[in-house]
Amino acid sequence: SQRIAVCQMRATNDKDNNFIQVKSLVEKAKDQGATFIFLPECCDFVGENRQETLKLSETLSGSLVEAYKNLALSQNVWLSLGGLHEIPPESPIPPSKIYNCHIIINGEGQLATSYRKLHMFDVDTPEFRFRESEVVAQGPGIVMPLDTPIGSLGLQICYDVRFPEVSGILRSRGAQILTYPSAFAYATGVAHWETLLRSRAIENQCYVVAAAQMGFHNRKRRSYGHAMIVDPWGEIVANCEEKELEVVVVDLDLDKVASVRRNMPCEEHRNMCRNIYSRLPLKIHPESEGEFDFGGFAIPKETVFYESVHSFAFTNIRCVVPGHCLVATKRSAKRLAELSPEEIGDFFNTAVIIQSLLESFYGVSASNVTVQDGKEAGQTVTHVHCHILPRREGDFSYTDKIYSELRGHDSAPIADNRRPLEEMVGEAQKYRDKLKSQTS
């Protein structure tokens, strides 16, 4: 078993005092034998208004994250710091918006992974009104579970707990522990906090670790507290209740995760229904590193401008029309029929995303979206892929001539008439910039 600690604190707009609290909690947890310590959302600070929040925010290369790294290194512990106010790279100072960013720092003081919150807390209740999206930008995608000394860890933040789709995706990708660092509003905490955490634990057969803020941060904002750890059977095994500066340690038993899943194999039963429904993540983050394989050809990472869980889009070495791009499956498969239902859904969804991107980029309203499925259909690279070709009026002498052009465009030897790599890389960067502008 591995000993972990869940922590509770009351952050304010005093960053120095907040760090003193974090350091005290980490030292206290380490003294009790914890090797992985979970801190809450807003452990860096809680601003009193939008302007102050933006002013106090930092990049992940800033002095505060550096201090957290040094703390992890000096104590030789892993830290989950959930919901830091991150200035996005290349943003002006002060930024117009920030990310709500959950980071994991390993025992060597290195950043192991980071996740930006997806779901914005924009709510109106009888007790309060809150608009997180006025300050925080939506994160770019789901972060796959991280292998750690305590098990496979799936990262979320606070309000994400209300959306079981993502926790289910993380579970299906191997997560044994789900973590929801939070600054949960008091009114909704009283009503829903425990129920939500236990639900995510039970339905995913995972440990759920939820560090929390507690008390009044300022005159307008109060958090519920009750930092918790819930086991995969739904039992609460740690609860900080409403104590302002508190640590509770628990020995995680991954054998219990395995036994619960073995005795009630929900994921196996879910997979038996995969032809009826699926858990399909459409956008992951960060993207893969290194080259992609395309029927034995290496596709440079720099020419890839979009990536989903099972597919990727890249610029073409020869274009039938300007903007002619390809979408291919990550797994090497020769025919569509070799793909799983989830891969098929992901592949065609990616094709639609890229079609929409290219039509917007080139200012056109029509495309050919073509799969050449087999040699006789014109497939020259034996790897499932789709051609996306933005169309313009009068681009061919007759509309369907594009099919004969497409059939012959790869008939030349691979080295002949191919575009320079720099041109393909530059084009891919333009598409990435366009995608970023559409989602920002």
Q: pLDDT tens digits, residue range 30-56?
A: 999 999 999 999 999 999 999 999 999
Tokens of 168: 């289910």
Domain 292-439: CATH superfamily is HIT-like (3.30.428.10)
| Peptide bond between residue 281 and the one before it cis (omega within 30 degrees of 0) | no
> What is the pTM assigned to this prediction?
0.83
What DSSP string describes 333-350?
Answer: -SSGGGS-HHHHHHHHHH
Cα(210)–Cα(228) distance, integer angstroms: 5
pLDDT single digits (tens) 289-312: 789 999 999 999 999 999 988 999
Task: Tell which residue, 66, 62, 106, 109, has the closest CA to residue 86.
Answer: 62
Per-residue pLDDT at 412: 55
Provide the pLDDT confidence category of residue 271 given band limits of 50, 70 and 90. confident
pLDDT single digits (tens) 347-376: 999 999 999 999 999 999 999 999 999 999
Choose, from 310, 324, 385, 409, the residue flagged as catalytic.
385
Cα(287)–Cα(167) distance, integer angstroms: 19
Name the residue with tokens 């993502």.
166
Q: Please, are residues 36 and 2 in contact by the beta-carbon 8 Å criterion? A: yes
For the chain, what are the domain ranges?
Answer: 2-271, 292-439
Name the residue with tokens 């720092």.
105
389 DSSP β-pair partners = 368
Per-residue pLDDT at 440: 58
383 is catalytic: no
Task: Tell which residue, 119, 136, 125, 82, has the closest CA to residue 104.
Answer: 82
CATH of domain 2-271: 3.60.110.10
Q: Please, are residues 249 and 34 in contact by the beta-carbon 8 Å criterion? A: yes
CB proximity list for 191: less than 8 A, separation 6 or greater: none
Please provide the average confidence, as pLDDT, over all residues in the chain.
93
Which residues define the annotated binding site? 316, 372, 378-381, 387
CA 438: distance to chain centroid?
18
Q: Tell me what the mean pLDDT of segment 2-25 comes to.
A: 98
| Peptide bond between residue 286 and the one before it cis (omega within 30 degrees of 0) | yes
Name the residue with tokens 């100072």.
93
Task: Tell which residue, 257, 244, 137, has the closest CA to residue 209.
Answer: 257
Cα(363)–Cα(437) distance, integer angstroms: 15
Per-residue pLDDT at 281: 67
Q: Please, are residues 250 and 318 in contact by the beta-carbon 8 Å criterion? A: no
Q: How many residues does the chain have?
A: 440
Task: Tell which residue, 368, 300, 367, 373, has the closest CA to residue 333.
Answer: 373
CB proximity list for 198: less than 8 A, separation 6 or greater: 208, 230, 234, 236
Assess whether pLDDT exceeds 80 at residue 414.
no
Task: Tell which residue, 170, 178, 210, has the closest CA to residue 194.
Answer: 210
